[in-house]
Amino acid sequence: MTKRPHFRRDLSDQVARRAAHLPPADRALLLAALDRGIPTTELAAMSGRDVRSVRLRVRRLARRVLSEPYAFVLRNRGSWPLLRRRIATAVIVHGQTVKQAAAETGTSFYNARKHMDAIQFLIDASLGK
């Protein structure tokens, strides 16, 4: 079958497009591994980190950018209030914890969690759950 390489290229293109919204260090790592094809062994050597941790980080980043919540937030955050948009971006797009997002946005953990509950409700509704 010759379709497999095209599928991988399409997937790689999708990851590259969505990676534009990641923090710079995460974007650079993901694009180096998936778009430019640099082996994780080389990336680990360049960064002075363990190969397994680099491989796991690349896998987690790729999984995040290909997830439905990530795509949903990118599609819909423009219509949300500023605080909800910032919390959704921090947690779902950048991969921070709710606690970190609350500190970054200057709101309480309770308030940030309530915004995340609302966002999760919207995501579930869009998926028909």
Q: What are the tens digits of pLDDT across the range 91-122? A: 999 999 999 999 999 999 999 999 999 999 99
Same-domain status, 95 and 118: yes
- What would you measure as the largest C-alpha separation in the chain, in angstroms? 54
- 5 — pLDDT class (breaks 50, 70, 90): low
Q: CB-side exposure of 64: number of CA atoms within 13 Å?
A: 24
- Give me the domain span that covers residue 49: 3-65
CATH of the domain at 7: 1.10.10
Q: Burial level of 111, CB count in 10 A (0-12/13-18/19+)?
A: middle
Q: Identify whether residues 38 and 73 lie together within a single domain.
A: no
Tens-digit pLDDT profile for residues 79-94: 999 999 999 999 999 9
**Cα separations (Å) of 88 from 4, 8, 57, 60?**
34, 29, 21, 18
Dist CA 60 CA 29 (whole Å):
11
Asked if 107 and 90 sit in the same domain, the reply is yes
Same domain, 112 and 84: yes
Q: How many domains in the chain?
A: 2
